[in-house]
Structure 1
Amino acid sequence: MVNMDTTVENWDPALTRLLASLREIQPKDNPGEDIVFLSELLQSKQLNALVHVHNKIVAKGKDEKFYPLLSNAMQVTLEVLELLADVSSVAAEYQELLSILQKPHFQAILCCHDAIAQKDYYPHLPDVPSDADEEEETVKIVQLVKSDEPLGGAQSAEPIVGATIKTDEETGKIVIARVMHGGAADRSGLIHAGDEVIEVNGISVESKTPADVLQILQNSEGTITFKLVPTYGKGGSRESKVRVRALFDYDSAEDPYIPCKEAGLDFKRGDVLHIVSQDDAYWWQARKEGDKIMRAGLIPSRALQEGRIIHERQADPQTLDGAKPGMCGPSAGDCAAPTPCAAPPLLPCKTAPKVKKIIYDITENDDFDRELIPTYEEVARLYPRSGRCRPLVLAGAPGVGRDELRRRLLASAPDKFVTPPPHTSRPQKAHELNGKEYIFVSREQMEKDIADGKFIEHGEYKGNLYGTTAESVEEIVNSGCVCVLAPHWQALKMLRTPRLRPYVVFVKPPPLPRLVETRTNAHARSSFDSENSRGFTEEEFSEIIRSSNRISYHYGYMFDEEIVNEDLATSLTQLLRASWRVQSEPLWVPVSWVQ
């Protein structure tokens, strides 16, 4: 017999009623394993604590309502960690705080707090039953308080209630085009995409255009009352958990085809976006990760953006040679345009074109993967692991100074920063030790390893082969040291894999006048002439800028961070901070790296 008379302080009334019901149905002789388990669960302190927290969060009483102080506690913690990186104190309190903030369990609690603060738990009303009386039209009345949120359609609109409207092409009636996640309409749980608008504040919208309805809304004050015919089978959709890194810049004000400019979300390449809805094939809803504003905005979907880029590349093939990417992708040409809220005439790619797989030499040009169409990359947080540091990869144009930065970084802490010795087929010299400056192998063995894909980069110089293997990088990673690489930019495709998980830093040159000034004042030696020691020529300075722009155009979507190498000391400090973040903070990486 299960003892259900145990009392627990502050027991939740709902759990008490469940226990009473369980007592009534409990068999007297043999209660069974399921009932025993359920009884123990209902009487557990853990469950009662969770229910207590839930009741505090969703309490209906205004005085009891729990309001979070902020919804991005994890982001604040990361900012604190970044500030602590500049503190040289070795006090016990400092070390203890640093240890606590880096613990995965503590950071998981903060992530849980943010999820609750962002109200991911909000319930949604069930769909209207489809077996309702067909002869009697169901109508629902919804009241919302006018606020600074968009409700727009084919015309420009003033922010109103967090939804967009359009004219249904088949019926000619005004319907809800989409509900913006986090807006007033979404929070009400009563307005759904596809609902037909009958009246607004008692005014019939029959035979009116979206612009007419918007005018009514703009002239309204305080509470707005909608009379709607609900759509069947289209209840509210829960937020997705997908996070993506944007691989292009987007400015909604420059996009003539966005359904509602006021609802657009602007972002820059590298921003992490929380995709909350992908219901629309061409316009997703998203928020910037860590943004305190809970209302989502519209961004072009992957399919729409790929279609735009393909269209632009076909219209202007020269953009593949390194033109500056525009709002729609690698060029700023005009896109074949749809009308707002309609599907564009472009045929979007269902999947991104496959990248050409070739074994390349560093003497080849850098367009072997120009078929790739970068739009969004799904990401997840990768937490640092003790004793295993991610490789630090310095990418950049020849002459920009990445090799000098690598040398200074290695010299700053030889026991911590290590670079793998390259393999070579050239003969070993008398003073050289195998495995120190180079790893000497036969040309036949090296050619076989190259064919087997063991090298992340390789090339030939004066008849001898040189290269770096993935295995040599892994040995350093597993030793607990930071592997520092400065490969040819083509090697990024071989390096950026779930196996190595590198942190890629793009070393950029300053503007041309400043580049010439700083290198001249520092008496920098040209890296374009290996035979003679001399300064850079004007043409070589210009080539550094051109090559840097070309690398950024083709490979920018792989960069985790960019550093402008104007001053070596400042750049080295930035590199040291980047290395500290990689070892101590959870960072966004391709989702395949954490699966």
Structure 2
Amino acid sequence: MIMSHMNGYVQEASGQAKSHRERAVDCPGEELCLVKSPHCSAHMERIQHYQEELKKKREEDSRGKHDIDPNASLRLKKLSQNPKVGIDNPTFEGKEKATKDSCSQEAVVGKLKELVDLLQALKWAQHCLTDAQSQQDAELIMQLLAKEDFKNAYTIYSAVSQQMTRVSPNSPLTAQAKDLCQEALMQAHDSVAGQEMSEEDVVEYHGETVKLVRLEKARDTPLGATVRNDMDSVVVSRVVKGGAAERSGLLSEGDEILEINGISLRGKHVNEVHDLLQQMQGTLTFLLIPSSQIKPAPHRQTVMHVRAYFDYDPSDDPFLPCRELGLSFQKGDILHVISQDDPSWWQAYRDGDEDNQPLAGLIPGKSFQQQRETLKRTMTDRSREHQGKLWYAKKNIKKRKKSTSTLSRNTDYDDILTYEEMSLYHQPANRKRPIALIGPTKSGHDELRRRLLSIEPEKFAVAVPHTTRNSRIHERNGREYHFVSRPAFDTDLAAGKFIESGEYEKNLYGTSTDSVRHIINSGRICLLCLHTRSLQILRSSNLKPYVIFIAPPSQERLRTLLATGGTTPKPEELKEVIEKAREMEQNFGHFFDATIVNMDPDQAFHELRRLIDKLDTEPQWVPTSWLC
């Protein structure tokens, strides 16, 4: 049974078009009005006629499957097995003894006389019948009535019915019994109605095999189905997860809807279907031609949780089949993908919106979005190449080579990120996740790290870096630095053991994954201040970092904060900080687990502590690959 708000969605399409457009028939939350069509009653009578013909056919088939021999009757068998009735006695006196307390001899004789009259009437009717089959049926009935066992059973039935009529009241005797009777009647009604509403009747309609599906259009339960125009037909094109149609299993993709409440849909445009369904509520009867497609075996799909690596606005997507079903999201949002049946358009919920979002929304599938991103970036590259050629014509060969090298690095799109599968992870008490603070220069992330280290040195620590320079007198290997030779540093760098590295005054410096792991194994929290280019290396390790972006405030507020610290930056320096932060968030924002806008140093510090403490109390979304 489908209890629905009829929030189906209609898909516009011409028969020649390769793509199609869907529109909402009845959006959730819209006011519904009941408009009765003058054609409804006539069409409903026709549908009821189909049901009555089907019922008669089933009854005839059922009668043909059973022998008319009364010895095969379950009722007679039960009576014969009851010693109190005693119909096994072949003599009529045995029967009289079994029923002497409930009926008189006159009643018995009267009942037998009724059987005799019935036999005579059948004989007369048999002579009036013209076809052999009807005469044979009448002969079988007369043979049944003439059997002694049937006479006995009929007499007992009459006596019991007469006795029950005398002792059974026609209405409840007390008010309490009346209430119980009404309650039982309502329960029986609901049970029968539920069974009927969930039935899928198969009938013949203009020479085609069709099925009748009854839907209940309620205000708070969406139907969750989309349909499209296929020439003159209206066809179910998608069953949306979370709707009553999907839960009932009565509607399938490819089913053609012939009628709704007796109103024919063939030849109607999707806009007409939209207007029609908006006016309907209550019980709807759908007349469908089942899809000829072979339905795959039903299987329970597992929910896949993904993090989005791009912003998506359905209103700006010309390829979205149904704008009303489109699910908007931003880079970094967690999406619960519950259906990938259509590889181009997945069905999903945003994390935390399941209660407010009755129907799943449509989002671009991974492969489809990768194709679009590839095309978009290819067009951008061509535009840059064209602009670069114009610029090269005005510059010397040396600058041209430098620019060409930069362009080559920026056009490596072999790994286009769209979604990443995620899982919930709760950090162990003895293995804290490292905290990576990311931000442009002068955003305050270095100051926040120093403040944490000074307040709780037993809880927080920094990884000891590696360097190729010589140690100074007060320095000890493994405390201030790990002092290594340049060949050893180059070997570890080639092996990918450094999260970040660089050169200063002809000496190499770097932070290794082993140094971070040493802090983690000690039970403390490792604090890192990294450049964005180090994020990919950090995430590809098994360190499970928690990345927090420290964003600068507005330009005026940043000027005030820096002035408080004794710095007087130039306007172009402030603008550069803001632009750098915007660039970092644009290119690497999908790697950020949280963002703190450093409007006030104290507030930013308390927010940082709150996020770090939350890792001990709440599970966090991490890439599934980290847990394999």
TM-score strictly above 0.5: yes
1:226 aligns with 2:259: no
- The match for 1:146 is 217
How many Å apart are 1:193 and its aligned residue?
Answer: 1.8
Q: Match of 2:337, SS?
A: strand
- The match for 2:81 is none
1:537 aligns with 2:564: no
AA of the residue aligned to 1:546: E
Q: Could you list the runs of 5+ residues in structure 2 that have no partner in the other structure?
A: 1-185, 191-197, 386-405
AA of the residue aligned to 1:383: H
Q: Map 1:246-265 onto structure 2 (within 5 A).
A: 246-265=308-327
Gap change, CA 1:206 and 1:368, over 3 Å in 2? closer
AA of the residue aligned to 1:536: P
For 1:556 and 1:445, how far apart are their aligned partners in 2? Answer: 34
- The match for 2:439 is 396
* Higher-Rg member (1/2): 2
Residues 505 and 561 of structure 1 are in contact (CA less than 8 Å); yes or no, is this contact kept in structure 2?
Answer: yes
AA of the residue aligned to 2:214: Q
How many Å apart are 1:249 and its aligned residue?
Answer: 2.2
Gap change, CA 1:277 and 1:375, over 3 Å in 2? same
For 1:298 and 1:450, how far apart are their aligned partners in 2? Answer: 44
For 2:595 and 2:264, how far apart are their aligned partners in 1? Answer: 56
- The match for 2:422 is 379
- The match for 1:496 is 539
Gap change, CA 1:575 and 1:260, over 3 Å in 2? same
Q: Match of 2:273, SS?
A: helix
- The match for 1:555 is 588
Gap change, CA 1:516 and 1:373, over 3 Å in 2? farther
Gap change, CA 1:165 and 1:433, over 3 Å in 2? same
Residues 222 and 359 of structure 2 are in contact (CA less than 8 Å); yes or no, is this contact kept in structure 1?
Answer: no
How many Å apart are 1:244 and its aligned residue?
Answer: 0.8
How many Å apart are 1:147 and its aligned residue?
Answer: 4.6
How many Å apart are 1:450 and its aligned residue?
Answer: 1.0
Q: Map 1:293-312 onto structure 2 (within 5 A).
A: 293-312=357-376
Q: Match of 1:486, SS?
A: strand
Residues 128 and 230 of structure 1 are in contact (CA less than 8 Å); yes or no, is this contact kept in structure 2?
Answer: no
Q: 1:204 aligns with which of 242, 247, 264?
A: 264
- Which structure has more helix as a fraction of its residues? 2
For 1:519 and 1:160, how far apart are their aligned partners in 2? Answer: 55
For 2:358 and 2:187, how far apart are their aligned partners in 1? Answer: 21
Gap change, CA 1:237 and 1:260, over 3 Å in 2? farther
1:288 aligns with 2:331: no
C-alpha offsets along residues 171-215 of structure 1, whole Å, 9 cap, x if unaligned? 653211111111121122211222221112211221222222222
AA of the residue aligned to 2:369: Q
Higher relative contact order structure (alpha carbons within 8 Å, sequence separation ≥ 6): 2
How many Å apart are 1:552 and its aligned residue?
Answer: 1.4
For 2:499 and 2:187, how far apart are their aligned partners in 1? Answer: 61
Residues 501 and 511 of structure 2 are in contact (CA less than 8 Å); yes or no, is this contact kept in structure 1?
Answer: yes
Q: Map 1:51-62 onto structure 2 (within 5 A).
A: none
For 2:617 and 2:597, how far apart are their aligned partners in 1? Answer: 24
Residues 381 and 411 of structure 2 are in contact (CA less than 8 Å); yes or no, is this contact kept in structure 1?
Answer: no
Tell me which moved more, 458-467 or 221-230.
221-230
- The match for 2:625 is 592
C-alpha offsets along residues 74-118 of structure 1, whole Å, 9 cap, x if unaligned? xxxxxxxxxxxxxxxxxxxxxxxxxxxxxxxxxxxxxxxxxxxxx
How many Å apart are 1:485 and its aligned residue?
Answer: 0.6
- The match for 2:604 is 571
Q: Map 1:8-19 onto structure 2 (within 5 A).
A: none
Gap change, CA 1:366 and 1:503, over 3 Å in 2? farther
For 2:407 and 2:595, how far apart are their aligned partners in 1? Answer: 25
AA of the residue aligned to 2:485: S
1:275 aligns with 2:337: yes
How many Å apart are 1:62 and its aligned residue?
Answer: 8.5
AA of the residue aligned to 1:288: R
Q: Map 1:113-512 onto structure 2 (within 5 A).
A: 137-147=208-218, 161-168=223-230, 173-231=233-291, 232-234=293-295, 238-290=300-352, 291-292=354-355, 293-317=357-381, 367=410, 372-497=415-540, 499-512=542-555
Residues 141 and 226 of structure 1 are in contact (CA less than 8 Å); yes or no, is this contact kept in structure 2?
Answer: yes
Gap change, CA 1:491 and 1:569, over 3 Å in 2? same
For 1:551 and 1:369, how far apart are their aligned partners in 2? Answer: 18
Q: Match of 1:213, SS?
A: helix
Q: Match of 1:139, SS?
A: strand
How many Å apart are 1:578 and its aligned residue?
Answer: 1.4
How many Å apart are 1:237 and its aligned residue?
Answer: 5.7
Q: Map 1:97-108 onto structure 2 (within 5 A).
A: none
Gap change, CA 1:438 and 1:427, over 3 Å in 2? same
Gap change, CA 1:472 and 1:175, over 3 Å in 2? same
For 1:166 and 1:438, how far apart are their aligned partners in 2? Answer: 68
For 1:226 and 1:540, how far apart are their aligned partners in 2? Answer: 68
Gap change, CA 1:368 and 1:443, over 3 Å in 2? farther
Gap change, CA 1:128 and 1:495, over 3 Å in 2? farther
AA of the residue aligned to 2:282: G
Between the two proteins, what is the percent identity of the paired residues? 42
Structure 1 stretches of at least 4 aligned residues deviating more than 6 Å after TM superposition: 318-321, 363-366
How many Å apart are 1:591 and its aligned residue?
Answer: 0.9
AA of the residue aligned to 1:230: P
Gap change, CA 1:218 and 1:461, over 3 Å in 2? same
C-alpha offsets along residues 398-418 of structure 1, whole Å, 9 cap, x if unaligned? 222211111112122101111
For 2:384 and 2:459, how far apart are their aligned partners in 1? Answer: 40
AA of the residue aligned to 2:622: V
Residues 175 and 196 of structure 1 are in contact (CA less than 8 Å); yes or no, is this contact kept in structure 2?
Answer: yes
For 1:253 and 1:426, how far apart are their aligned partners in 2? Answer: 57
Gap change, CA 1:317 and 1:545, over 3 Å in 2? farther
Gap change, CA 1:364 and 1:476, over 3 Å in 2? farther
Gap change, CA 1:453 and 1:461, over 3 Å in 2? same
Q: Match of 2:250, SS?
A: coil
C-alpha offsets along residues 339-375 of structure 1, whole Å, 9 cap, x if unaligned? xxxxxxxxxxxxxxxxxxxxxxxx9999586664332
Residues 222 and 358 of structure 2 are in contact (CA less than 8 Å); yes or no, is this contact kept in structure 1?
Answer: no
For 1:381 and 1:430, how far apart are their aligned partners in 2? Answer: 48
How many Å apart are 1:166 and its aligned residue?
Answer: 1.0
- TM-score (normalised: structure 2): 0.60
AA of the residue aligned to 1:265: L
Residues 313 and 320 of structure 1 are in contact (CA less than 8 Å); yes or no, is this contact kept in structure 2?
Answer: no
- TM-score (normalised: structure 1): 0.63
AA of the residue aligned to 2:267: S
How many Å apart are 1:514 and its aligned residue?
Answer: 2.1
For 1:472 and 1:187, how far apart are their aligned partners in 2? Answer: 53
